[in-house]
Copies of this chain bind each other. A is one copy, B any other.
Amino acid sequence: MRTLYQTMYCPRCRKVRIALAEKKQEFTVVEEDTWNLRDEFLRINLAGTVPVLVDPRSDETNDSVTVVGSATIIEYLDEVYEGTTLLPGSVKGRAEVRRLQSWFDDKFAQEVSSRLIFEKMERRALNLGPPDMEVIRAALEHIHYHMELIGFLTEHRRWLAGDELSAADLAAAAHLSILDYMGDVPWHKYEAAKDWYVRIKSRPSFRPLLSDRIMGMHPARHYDDLDF
Select from chain B the residue with minimum beta-carbon distance to A91.
Answer: B59
Give 1 or 0 for each of A67-90: 1 = CB within 8 Å of chain B CB.
Answer: 111011001100110000000001
Q: Compute how far the CA of A32 lies from the CA of B95 in the bound complex, rounded to whole angstroms.
A: 21
Q: Which of A32-51 contact B (CB under 8 A)?
A: 46-47, 49
Q: Which residues of the partner chain B approach A46 to less than 8 Å between Cβ atoms? A: 149
Q: Which residues of the partner chain B approach A107 to less than 8 Å between Cβ atoms? A: 47, 49
B59 touches A72 (CB 8 A): no
Q: Compute how far the CA of A86 lies from the CA of B95 in the bound complex, rounded to whole angstroms.
A: 16
Q: Compute how far the CA of A51 lies from the CA of B40 in the bound complex, rounded to whole angstroms.
A: 37
A118 CB within 8 Å of chain B: no
Q: A67-B95, A71-B71, A75-B94 are in contact. List 18 more A-B contacts (CB 8 A).
A: A47-B103, A59-B90, A60-B92, A61-B92, A63-B92, A65-B92, A66-B95, A68-B95, A68-B99, A68-B102, A69-B102, A71-B98, A72-B98, A72-B99, A75-B95, A75-B98, A79-B91, A80-B91
A102 touches B149 (CB 8 A): no
Q: List 16 A-B contacts (CB under 8 A).
A: A59-B92, A60-B90, A60-B91, A65-B91, A65-B92, A67-B95, A68-B95, A68-B102, A69-B99, A69-B102, A71-B98, A71-B102, A72-B95, A75-B98, A76-B95, A79-B91
